[in-house]
Homo-oligomer: A and B are copies of this chain.
Amino acid sequence: MNIGEIARRAGVSRSTVSYALSGKRPVAAATARRINEVIAELGYRPNASARALAEGRTRTLALVIPPASRRLTNVQLDFVATVVEAAAAHDLDVLLSPSGGDHDRSFERIVTGRRVDGVIMMEILLDDPRVTRLRQNELPFVTIGHVEHPGGSWWVDVDYAALVRRCVHHLADLAHRHVVLINRSAELVAAGYGPAVRSTAGFQEAAEQRGLSAHVVCCADEPAAGLACFEQIRARRPEVTAVVTINEAALPGLQRALHRAGLVVPRDFSITGVIADRLAEDFHPPLTAADVPAEEMARLAVDLLVERIADPAADPRHALLDPVISLRSSTGARPAR
């Protein structure tokens, strides 16, 4: 059933039905009522494809996520859920595209098939082919994370470098001298994944400034890896008294390793880093850490995208969030030996 059918039954023309629906032109109250009755009775809804074709917009956003094979982390999941919710608040639907590199069918379909009005991309690399690809297109997009040279693009991110720097200063203030950064996986670092690279930089910078002995270790996004990683640190560098981490998925393993080693936090060992509040609070003891405000970021990304779609000529905007470090109970003075 289509708009013509409604028009016929209501005894009006198709345009009148269309206008009654959109409100872009006044319609006599009586006519409108008749139309609405017919619509309600038949449960009519305009065909989305036809509307998109005529209007030149799809009322749909794309969200580009990492391929499923690489298991999503909790933070990524929060991004997805919140983006979808925020989009729904604007009456926009969300199309998911699991895309890795640049030669991706799903990604190409979306970018080039005018299937969506705009794109949100997450898990951005410093030099990201998808960003390059989107730039040469006229399709509006916003990234969660940012490339090395964001130029005129739109993005939201957390200032990992600053946060990790601050963590190091905090540990230095507590008299720790030997610290380690437990980073994300080596593959991510090698691929130039922003948070992993920027955290390393911030870590080394602050450590040097405070004269600390500092080392960075990569750790896969899994509990088991966290455990192995910590045990290796203990074995190779027994002098280390504190770690900074941005690896949430490894946390349970870290917890177990601490327990196995008989270490009491923060008496014997300090832990801090960039960890979503929810996880930080579930740690034992609760982690002194900077939050990754995934929901705020996702909401912001959607709002920016909506704005950019509405006004394609608008000046580029971005937001570099710098959440405060919440002092909880996982950091303390360097243990006296």
Interface positions, chain A 231-282, Cβ under 8 Å from B, are 252, 256, 259, 282
Residue in contact with A49 in the complex, picked from B46, B53, B68, B284, CB distance below 8 Å: B53
Q: Is the CB of B113 within 8 A of A48?
A: yes
Residue in contact with A77 in the complex, picked from B72, B105, B114, CB distance below 8 Å: B72
* CA of A80 to CA of B97, assembled, Å: 12
- Least CB separation from A111: chain B residue: B45
Q: Is the CB of B93 within 8 A of A94?
A: no
What residues of chain B lie closer than 8 Å to A78, measured between beta carbons?
A: 71
| Total copies of the chain | 2
Q: Is the CB of B81 within 8 A of A105?
A: no
* CA of A96 to CA of B92, assembled, Å: 10
Known A96-B94, A282-B223: A105·B80 in contact at CB below 8 Å: no
Interface positions, chain A 90-121, Cβ under 8 Å from B, are 91, 93-98, 105-106, 108-110, 112-115
Q: List 11 A-B pairs, Cβ < 8 Å.
A: A45-B108, A45-B114, A46-B113, A48-B109, A49-B58, A65-B84, A67-B85, A77-B77, A84-B96, A95-B96, A252-B282
Among A63, A69, A78, A252, the most chain B Cβ lie within 10 Å of the Cβ of A252
User: How far, in Å, is A131 (CB) from chain B's closest CB?
Assistant: 18
* CA of A48 to CA of B106, assembled, Å: 13
Q: Is the CB of A112 within 8 A of B43?
A: yes
Interface residues on A, range: 35 or more
User: How far, in Å, is A214 (CB) from chain B's closest CB?
Assistant: 30
* CA of A269 to CA of B162, assembled, Å: 46
A residues near B, CB below 8 A? 43, 45-50, 52-53, 58, 60, 63, 65, 67-69, 71-72, 77-78, 80-82, 84-85, 88, 91, 93-98, 105-106, 108-110, 112-115, 223-224, 252, 256, 259, 282, 284
User: How far, in Å, is A330 (CB) from chain B's closest CB?
Assistant: 15
User: How far, in Å, is A67 (CB) from chain B's closest CB?
Assistant: 7
User: How far, in Å, is A93 (CB) from chain B's closest CB?
Assistant: 5
Q: Is the CB of B112 within 8 A of A84?
A: no
Among A47, A49, A63, A82, the most chain B Cβ lie within 10 Å of the Cβ of A49
* CA of A74 to CA of B112, assembled, Å: 33
Known A52-B49, A53-B47: A98·B112 in contact at CB below 8 Å: no
Q: Is the CB of B68 within 8 A of A81?
A: yes
* CA of A98 to CA of B71, assembled, Å: 21
User: How far, in Å, is A320 (CB) from chain B's closest CB?
Assistant: 24
* CA of A147 to CA of B65, assembled, Å: 31
